[in-house]
Structure 1
Amino acid sequence: MKERARLLFCTPMDSADFPKLWNRDAEAAAERLGFQLDLLRTAPAGAGGWNRLLRGYDGAVTSWGAPQFNAELLEGNTRLRIVGHAAGSVADLVSDELFARGIKVVSANDTMAGSVAEWCLAASILGFGRALEFLRFGGGEPLRWENRGRVRSLRDAAIGIWGFGAIARSYLELLKPFTPARILVHSDFASDAALAEWGAEPASLERVFAEADVVVLLAGLNNRNIERVDGGLLRSLRDGATLINYGRARLIREEDLMVELERRRFSAFFDVFYREPLPVDSPLYRLPNVVLTPHVAGLGGIRRFIPDVLENFGHFFRGEPLRGEITRERAAAMTSHKKALTV
């Protein structure tokens, strides 16, 4: 009988993230696929501890807080063949050594992307539809019936997107039935032909901000993109436009953002912040043109993170092509969480 592939789930049971990620679906997937999936009670000490532990495994399932799979952690390990990240970006997880050894990398990035895209669509409909001018979630204020005539359909919108990764493509897929008037995309990586296949027009970041009614920030956070959205770009937004940042807070220069939000020319939807949790004294709370959510956009599919990674492991160990393999080049374009929040 063929020996079962032995896997380790690297999020320890004493971690706050463990109960969010581990569930019956994950357990059932491991059993159905014939894996021996071991759980970890507590994390080992340092790279050396991880090195000794992982030498006994064919695959590792990681998530938030996992160590980097660098040369020190991998030294002497000839058994590990695949790493699957039960979260999104692997930028802080991978290393040149990992790829040089031919170890495959997959993640739940596409699963998470679908969830974020749903929130982007909801924010786009509410923002372009001017819902903040008449919508009420409670709190005792009456409905503003006098503003009913201001509502608009997304079919009349010019949509601008910064980024063309998995989230942006999922968002574009959801937009198709709405047939927006225009879709402008700025990407440092996608070709004009690739954008045209999605019905999008390639544009500079300056054009995205100046010409779109809804601007959605979905670029990865790297050295090139940190605070790339400055006061000049924000001032170029149309009156009544909607800014949606479901990517990373530090894509925007904080001081410039607060100045422009105070002018209340445009509405904004934020799921990511410069400091998380968002401080209770943040001025964002008092702005009526801002909608805030506590970094939840990617969590709608969290129950599927581990099962989806394990399905990919199943393809790998059966000798089948991987779905959404993370190459060295793709990893380099992903967000580094070490840069995502200021301290």
Structure 2
Amino acid sequence: MGARIHRTLLAASALERLPRVADADTGLLVTDYRSADPELLARTEVLFTHWGSPLLDEDALGRLPALKAVVHAAGSVKQHVTPAVWERGIAVSSAAAANALPVAEFTLAAILFANKRVLESARRYRREQAAYELLPHFAGHGNYRRTVGIVGASRVGRRVIELLRPFDLDVLLYDPYVGPDEAAALGVRPLPLAEVVAHGDVVSIHAPELPGTRRMFDAALLARLADGATLINTARGSLVDTGALVAELRTGRIHAVIDVTDPDEPPAGSALYTLPNVLLTPHIAGSLGNELTRMAHWAVDEVERYAHGHPFAHGVGPQELSRSA
């Protein structure tokens, strides 16, 4: 993993359980397999990884002849697990399900705030520094019988759907892999993407980053958002055409809650920083602070399962990666 996340996990005592379930030195950090102790690598059976992990390509695996498993204490493994890992039959686990929890919680808050026009009201109150007529301002707003469109029944998408159940909201879903029976079990109404976007008072993106999903929210799809609708993106910035989104936002007819962008950091002077109908955050929906400890505990649980000869509870395979982030 990267040095910064390693220091953070140590400071939070997130790794203190690991030596109890494995022969592990939590103070040891490998950031480059070529410069690591070759004798140590040669007898390593399990890699415990996190953000910033070096690539596990054929060269790296050649230095890890005893490697049997990779346990990732974070979300996607796409940044370091290569096809060579699957070819060698190495088991892989991810704490993506743990990382999905805070993203879903952030999304729930964004949905409820969007329908209530909380940010817009706060800006106006701060600007005027005086009470204003609430009933005219809130006409047509609120969280009763509003329609929420979920794009992607991913781990996060499914958790958002679950969190929305106690509220008086109608939930639509677009996911090409979810059939009518599964949608009924989830308690959502499945519709084509264009219809979900057109009917949603709030549309929240939870699709994976794949070649076929790049800029799926293009100018034509964004134009289908209803006047006053809010687009939420906590998935990947590449799923939205940033230029087309900014153009639509400039008209003032829609709102956006954007936690991920393409590029990862909008350039200085980007309208996303200043448009009044945008809440822009620097990728904070995922695990941060003490939420990192939860991911670490999930990963240590997986190491413990491996040590007892049990299969991973959160195993990842190549087929799953073709449809997930």
TM-score (norm 1): 0.85
Q: Which moved more, 1:242-251 or 1:96-105?
A: 96-105
Q: Displacement, 1:139? A: 5.6
2:153 corresponding residue in structure 1 = 164
Q: 1:23 to 1:309 in 2, by over 3 A?
A: farther
1:274 maps to amino acid? D
- Residue 340 of structure 1 is matched in structure 2 by none
- Cα distance between partner residues in 1 of 2:185 and 2:320: 20
> Match of 1:133?
120
Cα offset for 1:148?
Answer: 4.6
Structure 1 unpaired stretches of 5+: 1-10, 336-343
1:220 alignment partner in structure 2 = 208
Q: Is the 8 A contact 2:6 2:29 kept in 1?
A: no
> How far off is 1:117 after superposition?
0.4
The equivalent of 1:110 in structure 2 is: 97
Partner of residue 259, structure 2 = 271
Q: 2:108 aligns with which of 99, 104, 121?
A: 121
Question: 1:328 is matched by which residue type in structure 2?
Answer: P
Write the distance in 2 (CA, Å) between the matches of 1:332 and 1:281: 36
What's the CA shift string for 1:144-193, capped at 9, x where partnerless? 6324551744341111111111111111121111141x211111333332
How far the C-alpha of 1:41 sits from its partner, in A, is 4.7
Q: Letter of the aligned partner of 2:316 in structure 1?
A: I
**Which residue of structure 2 aligns with residue 86 of structure 1?**
73
Structure-to-structure mapping, 1:1-343, within 5 angstroms: 11-12=1-2, 15-41=3-29, 43-44=31-32, 48-49=34-35, 52=38, 54-75=41-62, 77-136=64-123, 141-142=128-129, 145-148=132-135, 150=138, 152-180=141-169, 182-300=170-288, 301-335=291-325
Structure 2 stretches lacking a partner, 5+ long: none
In the alignment, is the contact (CA less than 8 A) between 2:44 and 2:64 conserved in 1?
no
SS of the aligned residue for 1:17 comes to helix
Q: Partner letter of residue 116 of structure 1?
A: V
Q: Percent identity?
A: 30
Cα gap change, 1:192 to 1:24, in 2 (>3 Å)? same
Post-superposition shift, 1:284?
Answer: 1.3
Residue 241 of structure 1, CA deviation: 0.8
The ranges of structure 1 where at least 4 consecutive aligned residues each deviate by more than 6 angstroms after the TM superposition are none
**CA 1:24–1:269 in 2, change beyond 3 Å: closer, same or farther?**
closer
- Cα–Cα, structure 1 residues 116 and 213, in superposed 2: closer, same or farther, change >3 Å? same
Distance in structure 2 (CA, Å) of the matches to 1:258 and 1:159: 22
Contact in 2 for aligned 1:58/1:80 (Cα 8 Å): yes
Q: Are the aligned partners of 2:50 and 2:73 in contact in 1 as well (CA < 8 Å)?
A: yes
Cα displacement (A) at 1:68 = 2.5
Shift of 1:136: 4.1
| Deviation at residue 76 of structure 1 after TM alignment | 6.2
Tell me what 1:341 maps to: none
CA 1:265 to 1:111, structure 2 compared with 1: closer, same or farther past 3 Å?
same
1:205, CA displacement in angstroms?
1.2
Deviates more, 1:221-230 or 1:86-95: 86-95
C-alpha separation in 1, matches of 2:22 and 2:71: 16
Structure-2 separation of matches of 1:114 and 1:100: 31
Question: What are the superposed Cα offsets for residues 261-286 of structure 1, whole Å, 9 maximum, x if unpaired?
Answer: 00111111011122344434221122
For the aligned residue pairs, the C-alpha RMSD in angstroms reads 2.3
Q: What TM-score do you get using the length of structure 2 for normalisation?
A: 0.90
Paired letter, 2:166: P
CA contact (8 A) 1:262 1:287 kept: yes
CA contact (8 A) 1:22 1:306 kept: no
What is the CA–CA distance in structure 1 between the aligned matches of 2:270 and 2:37, rounded to whole Å? 42
User: 1:65 and 1:143, CA in 2 relative to 1: closer, same or farther beyond 3 A?
Assistant: farther
Cα 1:138–1:316 change in 2 (3 A) is farther
> Structure 2 CA distance, aligned partners of 1:137 and 1:321?
55
Check whether the contact 2:95–2:314 (CA below 8 A) recurs between aligned residues.
Answer: no
Matches of 2:318 and 2:180, distance apart in 1: 23
Deviations 1:119-162 (A, max 9, x none): 10010001111223312498664256324551744341111111
Equivalent residues of 1:90, 1:334 under 8 A apart: no
Does the 8 A contact of 1:135 with 1:143 survive in 2?
Answer: no
Count, aligned residues: 320
Cα separation, partners in 2 of 1:59 and 1:144, compared to 1, 3 Å: farther
- Paired with 1:144 and 1:184, the residues of 2 have a C-alpha distance of 36
Q: Which moved more, 1:260-269 or 1:61-70?
A: 61-70
Structure 1 window deviating more from structure 2 (110-119 vs 308-317): it is 308-317
CA–CA distance in 2 between the matches of 1:83 and 1:105?
5
